[in-house]
Amino acid sequence: MREKVIEEYLRDEIKKLGGKAFKFISPGNNGVPDRLVCLPGGEIVFVELKAPGKKSTANQNLQQKRLKNLGFLVYNEIDSKEKVDEIIDYCREIVVMHM
């Protein structure tokens, strides 16, 4: 399965929850996670997607560590729809808490 398919699945499932999964591009900050997930209630989750079996680069790991040190939740090496489903379950709980 291609990374693009997994990324589209994440985007579509987050939309069903009333959120947005923005493609995250930050000029001058290579290695930032692929998606910035914004949920109802103001919660933010970062997601690094990969093709099955692929690993994050050292620069991606550094950027993820920086975000985690700021207190953000970062999902790393999401390489299947099943792993996306785990994120969706977490996000669903967050959305329900803010209703």
State the total domains in the chain. 1
How would DSSP label each residue in 15-36? HHTT-EEEE---TT-TT--SEE
Round the average pLDDT of the chain to a whole number and report it. Answer: 96
pLDDT tens digits, 63-83: 999 999 999 999 999 999 999
For residue 72, give the CATH number of its domain.
Answer: 3.40.1350.10
How far, in Å, CA of 4 to CA of 81, rounded?
Answer: 11
Residue 1: per-residue pLDDT: 81
How would DSSP label each residue in 69-98? HTT-EEEEEE-SHHHHHHHHHHHHHHHHHT
Domain that holds residue 51: 3-97
Positions in the chain short of pLDDT 50: none
Residue 14: per-residue pLDDT: 98
